[in-house]
Amino acid sequence: MEENLMLSNYGVTLHRLTHDKIEMLRQWRNDPKIQQYMFYKEYITPEMQERWFASLDPHCDYYYIIEYKGKEVGCVNIRAIDWETKTGEPGIFIYDDDCLNSDVGARANLCLKDFIWNELKLETLTIEVVRTNKRALKINRALGYHEIPLQPGDPEDKVRMIMTREDALKPNKLFDRLRKIFNQ
């Protein structure tokens, strides 16, 4: 995983996930405060984490540890990229309590989105959100995502959302202003 090892903008640095960080990530991911908003809620063992990391395709799965003010605070990713359709599935969680409900998630989100639209040049992003995660639904709508119908077999508690490059290029009063503020 030697491509795009580090992305830095808006006051955050994103470090591409390396093997020495997967145990920290596993512990974050198993914490109930994170697990409650994930569709996969089973405990993740070290072996499962090793298998997951080995399964990542460096050209299709980009996982980053978010560093803010010198501290590792969460994880952001674009995964399952289909290069034929130019689609991918982004995700983010903030683990550090000092950064929860702060501007750090937005900073990391904007940093990753620039990479997605300008470097990877994807056309469509799809996300799945747990319906009870009202905050995530609201912020994703504000970012420009909109809901699409569930697919057969989807659980009732899932919300599917999509954002196209066209959506992303539309003026966004809030996030266009935040881009400017975060770089001051």
Partner 1 sequence: MELNDFVAHFAEQFEDTDTTNFTGETDFRDNDEWSSLIGLSIIAMVDEVYDVVLKGDDIKNSKIIKDVYDIVCSRL
For partner 1, the binding residues (CB under 8 A) are: 98, 100-106, 135, 138-139, 142, 173-174, 177-178, 180-181, 184
Q: In terms of CB distance, is 28 or 175 closer to partner 1? A: 175
Give me the least distance between CB of 47 and partner 1, in Å please: 34
The nearest distance, CB 97 to partner 1, in angstroms, is 11
- Smallest distance, partner 1 to C-beta of residue 180, A: 8
Q: Pick between residue 131 and residue 135 the one whose CB is nearest to partner 1.
A: 135
**Minimum separation from the CB atom of position 2 to partner 1 (A):** 32
- Pick the closer one to partner 1 by CB: 169 or 181: 181
In the complex with partner 1, the residue whose CB is nearer, 120 or 139, is 139
Tell the residue number behind the tokens 């995983």, with chain if given: 1
Q: Are 100 and 92 in contact (CB under 8 A)?
A: no
> SS3 string of the chain?
CCCCCEEEECCEEEEECCHHHHHHHHHHHHCHHHHCCCCCCCCCCHHHHHHHHHHCCCCCCEEEEEEECCEEEEEEEEEEEECCCCEEEEEEEECCHHHCCCCHHHHHHHHHHHHHHHHHCCCEEEEEEECCCHHHHHHHHHHCCEEECCCCCCCCCEEEEEEEHHHHHCCCHHHHHHHHHHCC
Q: In whole angstroms, how close is the CB of 83 to partner 1 at the nearest point?
A: 32
We find the least distance from the C-beta atom of residue 178 to partner 1, in angstroms, to be 6
Nearer to partner 1, 56 or 139 (CB): 139
Beta carbon nearer to partner 1, 4 or 9: 9
Question: How far is residue 126's CA from residue 42's CA, in Å, rounded to a whole number?
Answer: 23
Using alpha carbons only, how large is the chain's radius of gyration in Å? 16
